[in-house]
Protein backbone atom coordinates (compact mmCIF):
# COMPACT_ATOMS: atom_id res chain seq x y z
CA UNK A 1 0.00 0.00 0.00
CA UNK A 2 1.43 3.38 -1.02
CA UNK A 3 1.79 5.92 1.79
CA UNK A 4 0.19 9.12 0.50
CA UNK A 5 1.55 12.47 1.66
CA UNK A 6 -0.39 15.63 2.37
CA UNK A 7 0.90 18.96 0.99
CA UNK A 8 2.90 19.85 4.10
CA UNK A 9 4.79 16.55 4.15
CA UNK A 10 5.33 16.72 0.39
CA UNK A 11 6.94 20.17 0.67
CA UNK A 12 9.47 18.68 3.14
CA UNK A 13 10.19 15.69 0.89
CA UNK A 14 13.74 15.26 -0.45
CA UNK A 15 12.23 14.69 -3.91
CA UNK A 16 10.75 18.21 -3.92
CA UNK A 17 13.86 19.73 -2.33
CA UNK A 18 16.14 17.81 -4.75
CA UNK A 19 19.19 19.97 -5.48
CA UNK A 20 19.89 18.14 -8.74
CA UNK A 21 16.70 19.41 -10.43
CA UNK A 22 17.15 22.17 -13.00
CA UNK A 23 15.81 25.38 -11.48
CA UNK A 24 17.79 27.71 -13.72
CA UNK A 25 16.37 27.30 -17.21
CA UNK A 26 16.79 30.35 -19.40
CA UNK A 27 14.21 31.68 -21.82
CA UNK A 28 15.77 30.57 -25.08
CA UNK A 29 18.02 27.78 -26.34
CA UNK A 30 17.67 24.01 -26.54
CA UNK A 31 16.66 23.63 -22.88
CA UNK A 32 14.90 26.98 -22.51
CA UNK A 33 11.31 27.95 -21.70
CA UNK A 34 10.48 28.61 -25.36
CA UNK A 35 11.28 25.06 -26.34
CA UNK A 36 9.65 23.48 -23.29
CA UNK A 37 6.45 25.50 -23.75
CA UNK A 38 6.33 25.43 -27.54
CA UNK A 39 5.91 29.20 -27.73
CA UNK A 40 8.18 32.12 -28.45
CA UNK A 41 7.45 34.01 -25.25
CA UNK A 42 9.13 37.25 -26.33
CA UNK A 43 7.24 37.30 -29.67
CA UNK A 44 3.93 36.63 -27.92
CA UNK A 45 4.52 39.46 -25.46
CA UNK A 46 5.89 42.03 -27.91
CA UNK A 47 3.02 41.33 -30.37
CA UNK A 48 0.44 41.92 -27.64
CA UNK A 49 2.19 45.01 -26.31
CA UNK A 50 2.46 46.41 -29.85
CA UNK A 51 -1.35 46.31 -30.09
CA UNK A 52 -1.13 49.11 -27.51
CA UNK A 53 -2.92 50.11 -24.38
CA UNK A 54 -2.96 47.22 -21.98
CA UNK A 55 -0.04 45.87 -19.94
CA UNK A 56 0.88 42.18 -20.39
CA UNK A 57 0.81 40.01 -17.24
CA UNK A 58 2.76 36.73 -17.14
CA UNK A 59 2.52 34.32 -14.20
CA UNK A 60 5.09 31.52 -13.97
CA UNK A 61 4.30 28.79 -11.44
CA UNK A 62 7.20 26.81 -9.93
CA UNK A 63 9.57 29.36 -11.47
CA UNK A 64 12.77 28.06 -9.84
CA UNK A 65 15.40 30.81 -9.83
CA UNK A 66 13.27 32.86 -12.23
CA UNK A 67 16.19 33.17 -14.65
CA UNK A 68 13.89 32.95 -17.71
CA UNK A 69 11.62 35.65 -16.29
CA UNK A 70 14.45 38.10 -15.69
CA UNK A 71 15.84 37.33 -19.15
CA UNK A 72 12.44 38.02 -20.70
CA UNK A 73 12.06 41.34 -18.84
CA UNK A 74 15.48 42.44 -20.12
CA UNK A 75 14.77 41.35 -23.72
CA UNK A 76 11.28 42.90 -23.94
CA UNK A 77 12.35 45.98 -21.98
CA UNK A 78 8.89 47.52 -21.85
CA UNK A 79 7.22 48.97 -18.72
CA UNK A 80 3.97 47.35 -19.90
CA UNK A 81 5.34 43.88 -19.08
CA UNK A 82 4.62 42.59 -15.54
CA UNK A 83 5.90 39.18 -14.50
CA UNK A 84 5.14 37.18 -11.37
CA UNK A 85 7.13 34.07 -10.47
CA UNK A 86 6.00 31.71 -7.69
CA UNK A 87 8.16 29.04 -6.10
CA UNK A 88 8.29 27.11 -2.87
CA UNK A 89 11.95 28.02 -2.44
CA UNK A 90 13.38 31.54 -2.57
CA UNK A 91 16.43 30.78 -4.72
CA UNK A 92 15.48 33.66 -6.98
CA UNK A 93 18.19 35.01 -9.27
CA UNK A 94 19.18 38.65 -9.37
CA UNK A 95 19.58 41.43 -9.99
CA UNK A 96 15.95 42.48 -9.57
CA UNK A 97 14.24 43.97 -12.61
CA UNK A 98 11.39 46.49 -12.64
CA UNK A 99 8.15 44.71 -13.42
CA UNK A 100 9.31 41.30 -12.10
CA UNK A 101 8.12 40.09 -8.70
CA UNK A 102 8.82 36.81 -6.96
CA UNK A 103 6.48 35.16 -4.49
CA UNK A 104 7.74 32.44 -2.13
CA UNK A 105 5.23 29.74 -1.28
CA UNK A 106 3.35 26.71 -2.56
CA UNK A 107 1.37 27.20 -5.77
CA UNK A 108 -1.52 25.38 -4.10
CA UNK A 109 -2.12 28.36 -1.81
CA UNK A 110 -1.16 31.15 -4.22
CA UNK A 111 -4.04 33.62 -4.57
CA UNK A 112 -3.61 36.04 -7.48
CA UNK A 113 -4.87 39.58 -7.25
CA UNK A 114 -5.49 39.83 -10.99
CA UNK A 115 -5.87 37.82 -14.20
CA UNK A 116 -2.99 36.89 -16.53
CA UNK A 117 -2.34 36.91 -20.28
CA UNK A 118 0.08 34.02 -19.90
CA UNK A 119 0.32 31.35 -17.19
CA UNK A 120 3.14 28.82 -17.44
CA UNK A 121 4.56 25.96 -15.41
CA UNK A 122 7.80 24.51 -16.74
CA UNK A 123 8.60 21.09 -15.23
CA UNK A 124 6.99 22.16 -11.96
CA UNK A 125 3.83 20.02 -11.83
CA UNK A 126 6.06 16.93 -11.58
CA UNK A 127 6.60 17.90 -7.90
CA UNK A 128 3.12 19.17 -7.06
CA UNK A 129 0.61 17.00 -5.22
CA UNK A 130 -2.74 18.12 -6.63
CA UNK A 131 -1.64 18.68 -10.24
CA UNK A 132 -5.20 18.74 -11.60
CA UNK A 133 -6.33 21.19 -8.91
CA UNK A 134 -3.49 23.58 -9.77
CA UNK A 135 -4.32 23.34 -13.49
CA UNK A 136 -8.00 24.02 -12.84
CA UNK A 137 -7.24 27.05 -10.67
CA UNK A 138 -4.66 28.39 -13.15
CA UNK A 139 -7.22 28.21 -15.99
CA UNK A 140 -9.54 30.42 -13.93
CA UNK A 141 -6.79 33.07 -13.63
CA UNK A 142 -6.51 33.65 -17.40
CA UNK A 143 -7.74 36.72 -19.21
CA UNK A 144 -10.42 36.08 -21.87
CA UNK A 145 -7.71 35.31 -24.48
CA UNK A 146 -4.93 34.35 -22.05
CA UNK A 147 -2.83 31.22 -22.62
CA UNK A 148 -1.97 28.51 -20.09
CA UNK A 149 0.85 26.05 -20.92
CA UNK A 150 2.41 23.50 -18.58
CA UNK A 151 4.47 20.33 -18.72
CA UNK A 152 2.31 17.50 -17.42
CA UNK A 153 3.20 13.82 -17.25
CA UNK A 154 -0.08 11.89 -17.33
CA UNK A 155 1.75 8.76 -16.15
CA UNK A 156 1.98 10.56 -12.78
CA UNK A 157 -1.77 11.10 -12.45
CA UNK A 158 -2.94 7.81 -11.00
CA UNK A 159 -5.81 6.03 -9.25
CA UNK A 160 -5.87 5.10 -5.55
CA UNK A 161 -4.17 1.83 -6.56
CA UNK A 162 -1.47 3.65 -8.56
CA UNK A 163 -2.74 3.00 -12.11
CA UNK A 164 -2.48 5.98 -14.51
CA UNK A 165 -5.93 7.33 -15.38
CA UNK A 166 -4.76 7.68 -19.00
CA UNK A 167 -7.62 8.14 -21.46
CA UNK A 168 -10.16 8.35 -18.67
CA UNK A 169 -8.40 11.61 -17.82
CA UNK A 170 -7.60 12.98 -21.30
CA UNK A 171 -11.34 12.85 -22.21
CA UNK A 172 -12.45 15.09 -19.29
CA UNK A 173 -9.39 17.33 -19.81
CA UNK A 174 -10.39 17.89 -23.47
CA UNK A 175 -14.03 18.40 -22.49
CA UNK A 176 -12.85 21.07 -20.03
CA UNK A 177 -10.98 22.89 -22.83
CA UNK A 178 -7.42 21.59 -22.38
CA UNK A 179 -5.35 20.23 -25.27
CA UNK A 180 -2.90 17.52 -24.28
CA UNK A 181 0.16 16.86 -26.43
CA UNK A 182 1.14 13.35 -25.38
CA UNK A 183 4.43 13.36 -27.31
CA UNK A 184 5.65 16.50 -25.57
CA UNK A 185 3.71 15.84 -22.36
CA UNK A 186 2.29 19.32 -22.44
CA UNK A 187 -1.12 20.69 -21.56
CA UNK A 188 -2.50 23.95 -22.92
CA UNK A 189 -5.69 25.97 -22.84
CA UNK A 190 -6.72 29.38 -24.14
CA UNK A 191 -9.13 31.71 -22.40
CA UNK A 192 -10.38 31.87 -18.80
CA UNK A 193 -12.57 28.95 -17.77
CA UNK A 194 -14.05 27.38 -14.68
CA UNK A 195 -12.85 23.79 -14.65
CA UNK A 196 -14.43 21.02 -12.63
CA UNK A 197 -12.65 17.75 -13.41
CA UNK A 198 -14.36 14.57 -12.15
CA UNK A 199 -11.43 13.54 -9.92
CA UNK A 200 -11.01 13.76 -6.20
CA UNK A 201 -7.44 14.31 -4.95
CA UNK A 202 -6.26 11.68 -2.45
CA UNK A 203 -2.59 12.54 -1.83
CA UNK A 204 0.93 12.34 -3.25
CA UNK A 205 3.53 9.60 -3.52
CA UNK A 206 7.11 10.92 -3.46
CA UNK A 207 8.53 7.39 -3.89
CA UNK A 208 7.34 6.97 -7.47
CA UNK A 209 10.90 7.14 -8.83
CA UNK A 210 12.28 9.02 -11.85
CA UNK A 211 9.87 10.24 -14.50
CA UNK A 212 10.60 10.89 -18.18
CA UNK A 213 12.95 13.77 -17.28
CA UNK A 214 15.20 11.33 -15.41
CA UNK A 215 14.60 13.05 -12.04
CA UNK A 216 12.62 11.51 -9.16
CA UNK A 217 9.10 12.91 -9.33
CA UNK A 218 5.78 12.80 -7.48
CA UNK A 219 2.75 10.69 -8.38
CA UNK A 220 -0.64 12.27 -7.66
CA UNK A 221 -3.43 9.92 -6.62
CA UNK A 222 -7.06 10.63 -7.50
CA UNK A 223 -10.36 8.84 -7.05
CA UNK A 224 -13.13 8.95 -9.64
CA UNK A 225 -15.34 11.69 -8.20
CA UNK A 226 -18.37 10.42 -10.13
CA UNK A 227 -18.39 7.15 -8.17
CA UNK A 228 -20.03 6.97 -4.76
CA UNK A 229 -17.48 6.49 -1.93
CA UNK A 230 -17.53 3.21 -0.03
Ligand X SMILES: C[S@@+](CC[C@H](N)C(=O)[O-])C[C@H]1O[C@@H](n2cnc3c(N)ncnc32)[C@H](O)[C@@H]1O
In terms of CB distance, is 117 or 130 closer to ligand X?
130
Instruction: Report how far apart the first and last C-alpha atoms of the chain are (Å, whole number).
Output: 18
SS3 content of the chain, % helix, strand, coil (to 5): 25, 25, 45
Q: Rule CB under 6 A: is residue 5 a binding residue for ligand X?
A: no
Judge contact between 218 and 204, C-beta under 8 A.
yes
Q: Rule CB under 6 A: is residue 203 a binding residue for ligand X?
A: no
Return the residues of window 22-51 that contact ligand X according to CB under 6 A.
22-25
Shortest reach from residue 75's CB to ligand X, in Å: 17
In terms of CB distance, is 41 or 107 closer to ligand X?
107
CA dihedral 67, 68, 69, 72 (to 10 degrees): 130
Q: Tell me the C-alpha distance between 140 and 13, whole Å.
A: 29
Q: Rule CB under 6 A: is residue 123 a binding residue for ligand X?
A: yes
Shortest reach from residue 102's CB to ligand X, in Å: 11
Return the residues of window 165-194 that contact ligand X according to CB under 6 A.
none
Pairing of strands 219-224, 199-205: antiparallel
Q: Rule CB under 6 A: is residue 88 a binding residue for ligand X?
A: yes
Chain positions contacting ligand X, by CB under 6 A? 16, 21-25, 62-64, 86-89, 106-108, 122-124, 127-128
Amino acid sequence: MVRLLDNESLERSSVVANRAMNRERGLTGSNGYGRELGIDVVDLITDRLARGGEPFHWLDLCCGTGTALLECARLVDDPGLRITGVDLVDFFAGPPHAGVEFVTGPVESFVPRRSFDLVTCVHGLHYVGDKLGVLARAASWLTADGVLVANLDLAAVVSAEGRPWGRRLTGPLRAAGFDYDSRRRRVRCVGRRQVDLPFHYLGADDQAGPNYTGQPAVNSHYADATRPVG
